[in-house]
Amino acid sequence: MTRQKILITGASSGLGEEMARRFAAQGRDLALCARRTERLDALRKQLLAEHPRITVAVAGLDVTEHDSVVRVFGELRDQLGGLDRVIVNAGLGKGAKIGTGKAYANLATAQTNFVGALSQCEAALEIFRTQNAGHLVLVSSISADRGLPGTKATYSASKAGVAALGEALSIELARTPIRVTTLLPGFIKTDMSASAGDDSSLMAELDEGVDAMVAAIEKEVTRAALPGLKWQGIDAALRFLPNSVTARFV
């Protein structure tokens, strides 16, 4: 099945923007959301110039405002004449050591990454249940496998929540026409990963990372750690080795 009409949140930069470019090149119609509407407008203009046969709808969206998420998803569905796939990608990488007086950074990350993801799932699945069809994709992180200390504690906790949500929904909807995929990317070179100080020796190039994400999305797998065997191995180690071992390198 070709999922022709695809909504992507957090599409103004990084993984979301590059996924939009990949799907546009495949002739898919796109609904793109982000807070930075000027970047969305520029992306839309470029995609239409390169692929004039597709439809690209854009909308400003703050995923922490639930009513806005429901409204914008509905409006974009109407503009595209339905939605076949929703990619829950919007996220923040801010963080500070808990208890150091910078709670605002941790609360913003938790609100965006988990509560915002839940709002998007609510809006997307309401549409999919009405259609009795659809593909929900949640972009979590390899950090969901194990709580990370220090400045990444809230980020890893929020992404663990996203991964658990994806697992729950994939079980619930397994015997329905609605598919659920949870992606757990490792370190992929983006502006957010650069500011987060991720280990450069493990960093995948953006093209490699997004190619792997799009391939997993198109296969509609239930769960995928990526890109490549390296991150599949790290995923397995973090999930199954004891804390006494993994604590040495997280």
Residue keyed to tokens 């191995």:
233
Name the catalytic one among 155, 157, 190, 238.
155
Residue 198 pLDDT exceeds 70: no
The secondary structure of 38-56 as a DSSP string is: HHHHHHHHHHHHH-TTS-E
**Taking the CB of residue 168, how many other CB atoms lie within 10 A of it?**
12
Q: Burial of 50 by CB count in 10 Å (0-12 exposed, 13-18 middle, 19+ buried)?
A: exposed
> Would you tell me which CATH number, out of the four given (3.40.50.1370, 3.30.470.20, 3.40.50.720, 3.90.1150.10), belongs to the domain 5-246?
3.40.50.720
- In this predicted structure, what is the pLDDT of residue 197? 60
High-pLDDT (> 70) share of the chain, %: 97
Rounded average pLDDT over 85-111: 97
Q: Is the dihedral of CA 108, 127, 11, 220 positive or negative?
A: positive
Residue 28 pLDDT exceeds 90: yes
Lowest mean per-residue pLDDT among 20-34, 53-67, 210-224, 235-249: 235-249
137-156 pLDDT tens trace: 999 999 999 999 999 999 99
What DSSP designation does 34 have? E
Residue 111 pLDDT exceeds 80: yes
Its pTM stands at 0.96
Contact status, residue 77 vs residue 126, Cβ threshold 8 Å: no
Cβ-Cβ contacts under 8 Å for 197 (sequence gap 6 or more): none
The model's confidence at residue 34, banded by pLDDT at 50, 70 and 90, is very high
Q: Burial of 102 by CB count in 10 Å (0-12 exposed, 13-18 middle, 19+ buried)?
A: middle
- In this predicted structure, what is the pLDDT of residue 195? 61
Strand partners, 31: 7, 57
- Strand 85-88 with 223-226, pairing: unpaired
- In this predicted structure, what is the pLDDT of residue 194? 60
Contact status, residue 33 vs residue 11, Cβ threshold 8 Å: yes
Rounded average pLDDT over 14-29: 98
Residue keyed to tokens 């109407």:
78
Rounded average pLDDT over 73-93: 98
Rounded Cα gap, residues 121 and 178, in angstroms: 12
Angle between helices 37-50 and 14-25 (to 10 degrees): 20
High-pLDDT (> 90) share of the chain, %: 91
- In this predicted structure, what is the pLDDT of residue 246? 83
Residue keyed to tokens 């796109």:
30
The model's confidence at residue 201, banded by pLDDT at 50, 70 and 90, is confident
Across 228-247, b (16+ Cβ under 10 Å) vs e yields: eeebbebbeebeeeeeeebe
Q: Is 104 a catalytic residue?
A: no
Cβ-Cβ contacts under 8 Å for 230 (sequence gap 6 or more): 186, 202
Residue 191 pLDDT exceeds 90: no
Rounded Cα gap, residues 158 and 110, in angstroms: 5
